[in-house]
Structure 1
Amino acid sequence: MREEIEDRIRRAAVDVLVGCDGLRSSEDREQFLDLVLDRLGRNGQLPRHTIPRKQYVALLQFCMKDRPGGLACLAAVLDLLDPGSAESLLMFRLCDEWRAARTLPAEFTDSWGLLGDCLKALRLPDEERRRLVARATLSRLRTPPDHSTTPWSDFLYLVGQNTAPGQVPPWMAYLDEASAWMDASHRQEIRAINRQRAVRWEFGDTLDRRRYGRQAERQPAIHDEHLAIRIMPAPFDEGHYTVSYWFHSDARGPDFEGRRDSAVIPFADLQRTVSEVISEVERAEGDRPGQLRLEFVLPLELINLPVESWPLDAAEDPHLPLGMSYPAVVIRSLDRLLDQRWHGWWRLRWQKLRQEPTAGSVYMSIPNNGPQHSRRVVAGLLDEEHVAAVLSEPPEEGRPHGCLEFKTALRTGYPVVVWHRTSESTTEFRQVLSELFAGGFADLLPRITRFRRQAAALGSGAPEHHIGRHLAVLWDDPDRKPL
């Protein structure tokens, strides 16, 4: 495998030189060759060819024979002639890969394709890449060089960095930390290869201490977790549905994990199936300091399902409602997740909510059957200052104003939408919501949960119209997409 990697790098290096705009003329090529030979201390000893590709093949053979820094020399001269050019940056990356392929143990070169695919697939912000590089080098290197622009090129570059006494090699530390951003199967495979080599070199314990110490440092005493449960009508079976779910933990990375789908079930079995899903996730995740939030991903026709009132355990009577059992039970819109056209406004309003959590504006629609009501609602929802909307009525069949308001709120990017599940928005309802929103959005969901628990704590003798028993909340985070 190592030979295949080296052959590919040689071919790529020659292709770079052949395609370089700065080496088109014979004069430019002669200048380039002279500078390379002078840098190597072998002036005049390279055979000349009239065909550029043959000349570069001979140059590459000359540079790399008994000279580990031959590719680095070519990259340095290209950068001297045209600083920061795409050709010089690519040659520096090829140099890093050549050194890595010749330096790393066989189990890594045998898995070169896997390593490259996994690291190239990571879309990490530059800030996160710099943080990973700094951690891997114990802050000796705080930012990658200009030619290193991806996690894959960062890894290859770190192979050439020195290892501090008694520490894990920077490339190995980087690979272990970057694996946290990979999907579960690749993460396990990469970490197994990495740790097996660490054990052979007798610092497996050091690698383990880095990993678990890092996890303890990153994880707060209590972290957020999210269980996304999607309910969809079965396409060819009226009155039947499928239930799918994903799990996400802030302690394990940015993505949802492991979608699973139920069989096709009738509507009457939905609550029981959801209860089983929650039990399965709770058992699988075990004893952990996490606060699990439930997110029901629903299509428009099911958006008003009273999921916060569903039972934690469908077999118990009286049952404990989900809205009392978890820190948050919210709704998400499947239609918006699937329609990319709506995502631009969605992100803009979400960004505003996150940047100004205490100052976000709320649009409240007041019930009105006048002919201009729909136009006024649409105009009001278009206001870019708003980040949350309160509907005048539930968005369900037979409630045209509620449906129009909800669809408009989705299309214009509202991440937070609230409504009364069973009736029009009353003065009392809007007053309660004004008080809930007055504290800002940073801890809005905990406040809503406390309000729901207060309503439930009143017992069966309390009036059924208590707002806490009928409060529907859509909370839609565009950074987490369970699909």
Structure 2
Amino acid sequence: MRGPERVRNELAVAIVDALQESATVRQTSSRELWREMLASELGAPVEPFGGDRLRPWLLQVVKACMAVGDGAACLVRSLEYVEQESATVAALWPLVDEVEAVDFFDSADLGHLRPVLESLRTIELASMARRASRSRVQELPRWCQTGWQVFLRLAGQNTPPGELPPSMAFVALAADRFVEEGWMEAAEGLRRFNRGQSQRLGLEGLLGEWQHSELPQPAPSVVPAYLMIQFEPDRNEDGRYYLTHWRQSDSTGWHPVRGETVHLCRDELPGAVERLIEESEARWADLRQPVILEFVLPWELLNEPVEWWSKDSGHLDPTPLAMDYPVLIRSLERLQRAAWHRPWHAKWRQLKERPADSQPHWSRPGEDGAYFFHLERELKEDGHAVCLVLSEPPGDDSGTGRREVLAGLRAGVPAMIWHRSDCSDPHFQDAISEILQDRGLGSLAESVGKWRNDALALGPEGWDGHVGRHLAILLDDPERKPGPPGPV
């Protein structure tokens, strides 16, 4: 068995080995940027590279990070800001999980568990993780492909009082699986580990209860799951976008799991979204929560009718997304502009905590050349104004609709509604008046969904004549950001 210091030293060496494969770390300017971001994440200074050999400096940085509670994760997050989802970042996250597991088990040598749990490769790993965590872990990150990686991941999860730690519960489930498959020696090794840890932690009773009782299935959660899909323009190549997504199904808190980023042409986006939704539905086959789709869109795509993109487009009768999901729009520019976030939070609190006292603001530009300046001023002065009704749809130019959206974003307005082609349509005006009076502004998404359903009821032959086919709603919750904040 390896001693505690050797266990931690070998982990530090593995992290350094991965870091040395990074182009960011090898290049002077990008390495310095990473170091500055790491210092910011840690909230403590990180000694700059002195120009001597790189590896000893990296080892010193890694050991300093491992001495801080969340230091290893800070190290990888800061590198991810620079490299996004590089091969080095992908190699480092499992090592962060291992650091957290070693910390949880008091620097115990977990190496003897590795070959046993690595042999556990089953499509049921996610459901085993959900059961072991009592449904707090709804989805595993993409690097969790074996029982060993799931065990390490769960070891970093918080354990409420009176419960068996999720990692130990997972080991118990894995032992049961090996018994079913006739691998008695592997099962006994896992149970021996659990017995030793339960004695160290004083959890013998909880382990016994886990092993000799069937846990009741949790009641279906009323907290929705979210699939958040973001399109970020390629600043160097017109007409191309980076598509990134996050899945969130943890009913106890906001813990989105980021998916891979793909680089696509604009006309490839609907097909990519269709494949992504199909993949997500397969992952969530046993999910008992409602699912909401959120599209994080840049300026030029704000008016794209994403809620009418299709599922099952290869069939004669494809399904519009609006038929199966509430579909909401969010602003990429607002997410990336931290300077706009304080008023955004303030107006969101108004909408969330006092919906009956919240008010819409109808934009009605006239001949005044300073109209948009005064629109922003009025929205900022009126703390109750949380929803902006546009006078024109936002285009990909600097027209009226886009300037109205900009005023709303600067003022922190979390909700905006418009007609995708003609905001002066009397049917739109009547529909919005009804929506805004229906149970206050707290039910905006539900009210817009009702109008879309009315349009769907007319079928493809008739829905274009219904206002519900043309309603767009931007509803931006600042408490649900897609992953940890990084540099813009």
> Fold match, TM over 0.5?
yes
What residue number does 1:320 align with?
A: 319
- Per the TM alignment, residue 313 of structure 1 is displaced from its structure 2 partner at its CA by 2.3
Q: Please say if 1:442 is aligned against 2:442.
A: yes
Larger radius of gyration, structure 1 or 2? Answer: 1
Q: Please say if 1:206 is aligned against 2:213.
A: no
- Per the TM alignment, residue 299 of structure 1 is displaced from its structure 2 partner at its CA by 1.1
Sort the Cα spacing of 1:440 and 1:199 in 2 relative to 1 into closer, same or farther, 3 A.
farther
What residue number does 1:188 align with?
A: 154
The Cα offsets for residues 157-214 of structure 1, whole Å up to 9 and x where unpaired, read as xxxxxxxxxxxxxxxxxx979986998565424443575654454543535799966x
Q: What is the rounded CA distance, in whole Å, between the counterparts of 1:209 and 1:423 in structure 2?
A: 64
Secondary structure in structure 1 of the residue aligned to 2:314: coil
Q: What is the rounded CA distance, in whole Å, between the counterparts of 2:304 and 2:214 in structure 1?
A: 43
Sort the Cα spacing of 1:347 and 1:120 in 2 relative to 1 into closer, same or farther, 3 A.
farther
Sort the Cα spacing of 1:370 and 1:240 in 2 relative to 1 into closer, same or farther, 3 A.
same
Secondary structure in structure 1 of the residue aligned to 2:291: strand
AA in 2 matched with 1:443? S
Secondary structure in structure 2 of the residue aligned to 1:288: coil
What residue number does 2:340 align with?
A: 342
User: Does the 8 A contact of 2:233 with 2:241 survive in 1?
Assistant: yes
Q: Between 412-421 and 365-374, report the one with greater CA deviation.
A: 365-374
Alignment of 1:59-138 (within 5 A): 117=69
Secondary structure in structure 2 of the residue aligned to 1:422: coil
Sort the Cα spacing of 1:366 and 1:429 in 2 relative to 1 into closer, same or farther, 3 A.
farther
What residue number does 2:360 align with?
A: 362
Secondary structure in structure 2 of the residue aligned to 1:397: coil
Alignment of 1:132-211 (within 5 A): 187-190=153-156, 191-192=166-167, 198-200=194-196, 201=198, 203-207=206-210
Q: What is the rounded CA distance, in whole Å, between the counterparts of 1:305 and 1:241 in structure 2?
A: 14
What residue number does 2:17 align with?
A: none
What residue number does 1:299 align with?
A: 298
AA in 2 matched with 1:192? S
The Cα offsets for residues 322-352 of structure 1, whole Å up to 9 and x where unpaired, read as 11211x1011111111111011011111111
User: Does the 8 A contact of 2:231 with 2:241 survive in 1?
Assistant: yes
User: Does the 8 A contact of 1:324 with 1:449 survive in 2?
Assistant: no
AA in 2 matched with 1:390? V
Q: Between 330-339 and 185-194, report the one with greater CA deviation.
A: 185-194
User: Does the 8 A contact of 1:367 with 1:393 survive in 2?
Assistant: no
What residue number does 1:407 align with?
A: 406
Q: What is the rounded CA distance, in whole Å, between the counterparts of 1:363 and 1:208 in structure 2?
A: 59
What residue number does 2:175 align with?
A: none
Secondary structure in structure 1 of the residue aligned to 2:290: strand
- Per the TM alignment, residue 387 of structure 1 is displaced from its structure 2 partner at its CA by 1.1
Q: Please say if 1:451 is aligned against 2:451.
A: yes
AA in 1 matched with 2:223? H
Secondary structure in structure 2 of the residue aligned to 1:228: strand
- Per the TM alignment, residue 392 of structure 1 is displaced from its structure 2 partner at its CA by 0.7
Q: What is the rounded CA distance, in whole Å, between the counterparts of 1:178 and 1:452 in structure 2?
A: 33
Q: What is the rounded CA distance, in whole Å, between the counterparts of 1:448 and 1:359 in structure 2?
A: 20
AA in 2 matched with 1:330? L
- Per the TM alignment, residue 357 of structure 1 is displaced from its structure 2 partner at its CA by 2.2
Sort the Cα spacing of 1:457 and 1:188 in 2 relative to 1 into closer, same or farther, 3 A.
same
- Per the TM alignment, residue 359 of structure 1 is displaced from its structure 2 partner at its CA by 2.6
What residue number does 2:79 align with?
A: none
AA in 1 matched with 2:420? R
AA in 2 matched with 1:346? W
Percent of aligned positions with the same letter in both sequences? 30
User: Does the 8 A contact of 1:393 with 1:399 survive in 2?
Assistant: no
AA in 1 matched with 2:167? A
Q: Please say if 1:466 is aligned against 2:435.
A: no
Secondary structure in structure 2 of the residue aligned to 1:227: strand
AA in 2 matched with 1:381? L
Secondary structure in structure 2 of the residue aligned to 1:464: helix
Q: What is the rounded CA distance, in whole Å, between the counterparts of 1:419 and 1:256 in structure 2?
A: 29
Sort the Cα spacing of 1:243 and 1:339 in 2 relative to 1 into closer, same or farther, 3 A.
same
Q: What is the rounded CA distance, in whole Å, between the counterparts of 2:221 and 2:418 in structure 1?
A: 34
Gapped regions of structure 1 (runs ≥ 5):
6-112, 123-154, 157-174
- Per the TM alignment, residue 464 of structure 1 is displaced from its structure 2 partner at its CA by 2.7
Sort the Cα spacing of 1:114 and 1:268 in 2 relative to 1 into closer, same or farther, 3 A.
same
What residue number does 1:390 align with?
A: 389
Q: What is the rounded CA distance, in whole Å, between the counterparts of 2:153 and 2:69 in structure 1?
A: 12
- Per the TM alignment, residue 369 of structure 1 is displaced from its structure 2 partner at its CA by 4.4
Secondary structure in structure 1 of the residue aligned to 2:459: coil
Match of 1:381 among 376, 379, 382: 379
Q: What is the rounded CA distance, in whole Å, between the counterparts of 1:222 and 1:183 in structure 2?
A: 21
Q: CA RMSD in A?
A: 3.7
Q: What is the rounded CA distance, in whole Å, between the counterparts of 2:416 and 2:265 in structure 1?
A: 28
